[in-house]
Amino acid sequence: MSDTTARPDLLSWTCPAPVRDRPRVVMGHGGGGAMSAELIEQIVLPGLGGPVQAALTDSAVVELGGARLAFSTDSFVVRPLFFPGGSIGDLAVNGTVNDLAMSGARAAYLSCGLILEEGIELDTVSRVAEALGAAARAAGVRVVTGDTKVVEAGHGDGVYINTSGIGLIPAGVDLRPERVTPGDVVMVSGAIGVHGVAIMSERENLRFEVEIESDCAALGGLVDAMLSVTSDLHVLRDPTRGGLAASLNEIAAASGCGVVVQERAVPVPQPVAGACAMLGLDPMYVANEGKLVAFVPREHADAVLAAMKAHPLGSEAAVIGETVTDHPGMVVARTGLGGTRVVDMPMGEQLPRIC
């Protein structure tokens, strides 16, 4: 879908930019790419230190009272608050529900922490709450505890939301990148790049022939459908900030496998491809909020793909590649022209405050 060598505007991502050379936080530290990882690994985790859990992943698997739970948190700072196909309220529910689903857990309970900026209209708060409630009902999750803080005008941006969530992980389900082995089949649940382009077009007031709406959706039901085929999926990931490229790179790095993607097999809607070309974006790096990527043992791949296609949120599911023993930890795309290119981990942010 893209060729980095033909996109000089993207080259800055691939420059090394270690945290030690940046004494202050920059927007790129929130982009979900290499700079975010550096911030976490070089600043936050060493600070936390000691017996605090080493890996602050999006969703933790913990034992409590004999139950195996997934526990996840996300803060939402998207701008604007409302955009085609969704709102910060939808993102706040679906983002955390999806993080839990990627551990195989069906979200049961959510918390909701609001940081309101002095001066925001109560009507806006009300609309955000309505969106949250509707999204929670659609996802079958209950918002059970909350908190509201207010900060002075000029120290917020209307509404920031944190949601955290907990859910039960079914017996036999063990989804993590370390389980990925060469020969796994890589599939996505549908078209990529839609959310980021929807946000960008709203923010920049761009109009395309076809309005592009965010794909924001709760993936718990789709994951249930996939797990009903086999509990032996290897890893699931929802490619949000940093897009599909970041998710594939994280999994490649953690598993030690190489990943080969057939670029032409990656579903990108024509309007998204057109918008990306115009904006100088690569769909592989654009955030999604209602899609997942799955690494599946080859013997289950056909059945899992069929289960995805039978679900409304997976009707455009597609196999996009496989894992290999070559180039361990690296993601390579086979281009339509028969060549190959490395799909790097993004460095900073392509579109800030996308979620």
Interface pick for a copy of itself out of 3, 4, 17, 19 (rule CB under 8 A): 19
What's the token pair of residue 244? 């599909």
10 Å CB burial of residue 172 (0-12, 13-18, 19+) is exposed
According to the binding rule CB under 8 A, does residue 148 interact with a copy of itself? yes
How many residues line the site for a copy of itself (CB under 8 A)? Answer: 93
According to the binding rule CB under 8 A, does residue 18 interact with a copy of itself? no
CB of 321 to a copy of itself, least distance (A): 28
CA distances from 300 to 189, 207, 245, 297, 306 (A): 16, 42, 24, 6, 10
d(CA 328, CA 43): 27
Site string for a copy of itself, 86-115 (x = CB under 8 A): ----------------------xx-xxxxx
Residues in the chain: 355
Residues 61-80 interacting with a copy of itself (rule: CB under 8 A)? 62, 64-69, 71-77
CB of 299 to a copy of itself, least distance (A): 30
Q: Residue 125 — φ and ψ, nearest 5°?
A: -60, -40
Cβ distance to a copy of itself smaller for residue 54 or 342? 54
According to the binding rule CB under 8 A, does residue 24 interact with a copy of itself? yes
CB of 197 to a copy of itself, least distance (A): 20
Contact 252, 306 (CB under 8 A): no
According to the binding rule CB under 8 A, does residue 172 interact with a copy of itself? no
According to the binding rule CB under 8 A, does residue 325 interact with a copy of itself? no
CB of 292 to a copy of itself, least distance (A): 18
* 78 contact partners, CB below 8 Å, separation of at least 6: 88, 91, 199, 353, 354, 355
d(CA 247, CA 327): 17
Cβ distance to a copy of itself smaller for residue 110 or 212? 110
d(CA 47, CA 25): 16
Cβ distance to a copy of itself smaller for residue 150 or 310? 150
Q: Tell me the DSSP string of 224-249.
A: HHHHHH-S---EEE---TTHHHHHHH
Cβ distance to a copy of itself smaller for residue 36 or 201? 36
d(CA 129, CA 270): 34
According to the binding rule CB under 8 A, does residue 156 interact with a copy of itself? yes
Interface pick for a copy of itself out of 5, 6, 15, 49 (rule CB under 8 A): 49
Cβ distance to a copy of itself smaller for residue 55 or 337? 55
According to the binding rule CB under 8 A, does residue 324 interact with a copy of itself? no
Instruction: Pick the stretch among 20-28, 245-253, 269-277, 283-291 that binds a copy of itself (CB under 8 A).
Output: 20-28
Cβ distance to a copy of itself smaller for residue 3 or 117? 117
According to the binding rule CB under 8 A, does residue 82 interact with a copy of itself? no
Inter-axis angle of helices 122-139 and 88-101, to 10 degrees? Answer: 30
